[in-house]
Each structure stands twice: as structure tokens, then as C-alpha cells.
Structure 1
């Protein structure tokens, strides 16, 4: 039972990155923050008492693609424990989505979850004509569940929300302002919000310093997190809006994702303090 619990920590951390920076984007904002070919890497740390263990990694990737002969971005995120920790808790989680290149509206989203003995698959097809989502969900040995979900305006899947949020003009918001977001999670649309906490300098474990924007999600009951402000995220205060550190408290201990490096960025990282 404990191994199954531990096995889900990396997945929680990946979702923490996604949920915690998912600000409500203006639907008509154009993408200025990333491009095809971008890769961003993170180390995943787990805390037991006073010990932080680097037990896994999370990678985000963007490729130029086509979807039904239309220009698209193919965005992927993969979270995994390192092989030498697999005997305790093996995690291999993959998220991917195709979006348009103008407003980042999703076409198709998939999530494959392998966490210890737990396995699940999700697939969403987004219909722009009737504003619905066709969802296919299969968890463990349960039968495939298919349903139609109303697709409200400015509502995105988890992965698209990360990249949509990177194109927001944060100067519009005041410190401590609550900003609502709407996301499709586990086959349901959740209306949640975060608190903008202003600007702060942050230092990574390898000594790099960045000027950042800071946020704390206010999550409602019914999501994968309890309600409250037990998660904090810092993103670069430049045109890239790259998450640098994400911290989240869980039932036992804490999890943390720390920025390692990035390739193929659209803009220079001007937020780094040399």
C-alpha cells in the first residue's frame, strides 16, 4: 500500500507543475513565448523529514506538426522515476496534446498513466463546431468509459493550459489577486483559481538565480489536491515564463520540481541573474 502511495508522487508533481501555473488566459491571445523545438527539463525531488531525494525527472517538449492537414503544435510531457528507484515506486506518465498554432486551442489530448500497479488512459477529442469534448477514459481493469463533456469557452486540458498561461500579460494583475481558471481533469471540467503573489528572486539547487513571478493555487475539493494553498510556483519574469521551481505539500512530506535546462527557446532568458 505504501509503495502504491509513493508511486503516485511523481505524477502529482507533474500535475502540480501544470495546475499551479495554469492562469486563465485570454482566449484570443497569440503565442509569443515558445516555438516548435523547445525542450525544458526538471529534476523531481521528494522530501521525507529533512531529506530531499532526487528520484525522478519531468520533461516538456514542443514539436511543429500537422493535425488533419492544419498547422499544429505537438506538445508532450513525460514524468518518470529513475531506474534505481523503480523497485520502490515505478512511474512512467506521459501527457500529449495537439493544439492550433494561433490561439493554442486543443484538437486532441492523451494521457497514459503507469504508477506502480495503477494504470489509466485518457483521450479527449475537442469539437469546435458544437463545443463538446468526446472523452474516453479507462482506469485499471474497469471497462472503457465514453462520455460527452460540454466544452466551455477558455477551458483547456492540463497540458495546453501550461503553454496558454505562458502567453499572459501578468502586468494586468495585482499582488494577492485571485485569477480563475477552468480545466478538464479526469473527465470533468473544474473551475479553480490561483493567487498571484508578486515578484521574487529564486535560487535553484545548482546555484542559478532568477527573477520570477510567484503564484499559489487555491484548489477546490474534488481535484487531486485538497483545498488550500499548499502549492507554490515560480516562473521566469521574462517572455518565456518558464517554471523554475514548483513546491507542493502532500499527505506525507513534500514534492518539488526544479528547473535543469532548456533548449530551443523562442526568447532569451533575461530573468536569470548572472
Structure 2
């Protein structure tokens, strides 16, 4: 089933879909809303009719480091299929991003994925002096390529965008406001948008309850996505801005990302209703 190899990429796309084109003026006063050692884990679930498959786990971590003598955050994401499904479709996906500690602009991005025997190695080096991105890509069915792309303003890689979005002050938006999004993916820039749908109380499958902000996301139409606003995200209505639930319709069924655990959050998870 081809959709399974999209879980990690999907979760990244879902979370990054709040990145605003105005880059910095709408950041929360609590910036940054995460700290060294933060770890967040999600289950990746596929649903088709009465079929529910808990098919994988995705973990996001934050650490402080240096990148070419610049202070940086190191963001890592590792996704894996459950061992019980490895015989059918084995997934081992790894994403890494180094980003500036003050702006979260990316310095370097790497995507190293192995999905059902199909491998992708994608590296991006961001040069802000010359406004260029140097890319190196190798895929199982394609030859190794090197390319140079003109860097557009306010663009993020998938992973740095995830963390930048959590720092936006969403209280400045009204219901049905559209927020522009610009991402770099597979050597192309995409200008998308997210629509703010207001606040909502969310009850999770593990019997937890949260105050959340709800968004819909305009997706890129492709092999698994229908395109349009068929994706919904519920984010904690507190200083952490953590996605609690992601729900996306695909060509066959839907996929969901559900929060499992959090460690070393910078702020209390005050959105949870006890």
C-alpha cells in the first residue's frame, strides 16, 4: 500500500503549514517556545472504512549546537514502521535540520529515507550571502544530481518550518484568515496557505481533553493527496503550540497523526483539561 511510505513526510507537512510570509513580525513574545531536550512522539494511523492500522511512530527532538561556528538549533525527526509491519512495508525515515537560534532560518537540511526498499538522500545547503540553495539528491531510480537554486524570501525546509510555526502568535488572526506558506521541497518552492478555523475543545482517543486551535491546510495535489483543504490540524492553545491531532484525506481513506508523549517541554501543557 503506497500511502504508508508517506507518514513522516505527511506529519512534517501538516505541522509546517502555518509558516507566515511575514517571517518575523508575528512571532510570539515567548520565542522560542521550545528548549534543548524537547521530545515529542506521534503515532501514524491509516484509516479506510472500518480498517484502522497503527502503522508507525514518529519522534521529534530539539538540541542546541553549533553550525559552522554559528549558534544553532538541531532538529531531528525519525520515523519507523512498526516491526509487525516491516515484513510487508519497512519504513526508516530520518530528517535533520540546523537552524539559526534567533530566526530559525535553515542552514542545512537532510532527508534520508528508506521506504519499502526505495531510498532517498536529499541535502540542502542554504547560502544567505548569495541567496542560493545548493542541493544534492540521490534516489533509488534516479542518478545522483547536484543543483543550485535561487533562494526565495521567507522559505523554510520541512523541518525548520515545523518549529518556526510553533512560534507564531496565532491570537492575532481571525476565523477564516488565510496564512501564506512557502516551503522548499524536492528542489521546488511551493506557496500554499493555511486557514484559521477558530478554537475548539478536542477529545483524544486516549481519553484526554485539550483546548485547541483548529486549522485547515491547502495541500499539494499529487500521488496521495487530492488537493484542496482536505487536511485539518488541532494545535494546543497554550505557549507550546503542539499539534495534538492531524487528519488528512488521501486518495484512498485517510491518515492521522496522534500525539503520544511529550518530554522536556519549555512551558506547562496548560491547554490540557483535567
How high is the TM-score relative to the length of structure 2?
A: 0.93
The structural deviation recorded for 1:17 is 3.0
Instruction: Verify the 8 A CA contact 2:111 2:122 in the aligned structure 1.
Output: yes
Q: What secondary structure does 1:168 align onto?
A: coil
What corresponds to 1:267 in structure 2? Answer: 267
Structure 1: state its 5+ residue gaps. none
What corresponds to 1:101 in structure 2? Answer: 101
Separation in 2, partners of 1:24, 1:201: 28
What corresponds to 2:12 in structure 1? Answer: 15
What corresponds to 2:68 in structure 1? Answer: 68
How high is the TM-score relative to the length of structure 1?
A: 0.93
Question: Which of 50-59 and 236-245 deviates more?
Answer: 50-59
Separation in 2, partners of 1:240, 1:7: 29
Instruction: Verify the 8 A CA contact 2:224 2:251 in the aligned structure 1.
Output: no
The structural deviation recorded for 1:25 is 5.8
The structural deviation recorded for 1:224 is 6.7
Structure 2: state its 5+ residue gaps. none
The structural deviation recorded for 1:12 is 4.5
* Residues 257 and 171 of structure 1, relative CA distance in 2, 3 Å threshold: same
What corresponds to 2:147 in structure 1? Answer: 147
Q: What secondary structure does 1:161 align onto?
A: helix
* Residues 223 and 166 of structure 1, relative CA distance in 2, 3 Å threshold: farther
Instruction: Verify the 8 A CA contact 2:211 2:237 in the aligned structure 1.
Output: yes
Q: What secondary structure does 1:218 align onto?
A: strand
* Residues 23 and 54 of structure 1, relative CA distance in 2, 3 Å threshold: farther
What corresponds to 1:236 in structure 2? Answer: 236
Q: What secondary structure does 1:8 align onto?
A: helix
Separation in 1, partners of 2:149, 2:215: 29
What corresponds to 2:199 in structure 1? Answer: 199
Separation in 1, partners of 2:101, 2:152: 20
- Is 1:158 the equivalent of 2:155? no
Correspondences of 1:123-142 after superposition (within 5 Å): 123-142=123-142
Give me the CA root mean square deviation. 1.8
What corresponds to 1:249 in structure 2? Answer: 249
What corresponds to 1:56 in structure 2? Answer: 56
The structural deviation recorded for 1:23 is 4.6
Separation in 2, partners of 1:11, 1:89: 14
The structural deviation recorded for 1:9 is 3.8
The structural deviation recorded for 1:48 is 2.4
Separation in 2, partners of 1:223, 1:53: 20
Per-residue CA deviations over 1:108-146 (Å, capped at 9, x if unaligned) read 000011110211111000001011110111111421111
The structural deviation recorded for 1:62 is 0.4
Q: What secondary structure does 2:196 align onto?
A: strand
Separation in 2, partners of 1:145, 1:224: 25
Separation in 1, partners of 2:211, 2:22: 22
Q: What secondary structure does 1:179 align onto?
A: strand
Q: What is the number of residues matched between the two proteins?
A: 271
Q: What secondary structure does 2:142 align onto?
A: coil
* Residues 180 and 158 of structure 1, relative CA distance in 2, 3 Å threshold: same
Instruction: Verify the 8 A CA contact 2:107 2:125 in the aligned structure 1.
Output: yes
The structural deviation recorded for 1:221 is 4.0
Instruction: Verify the 8 A CA contact 2:39 2:264 in the aligned structure 1.
Output: yes
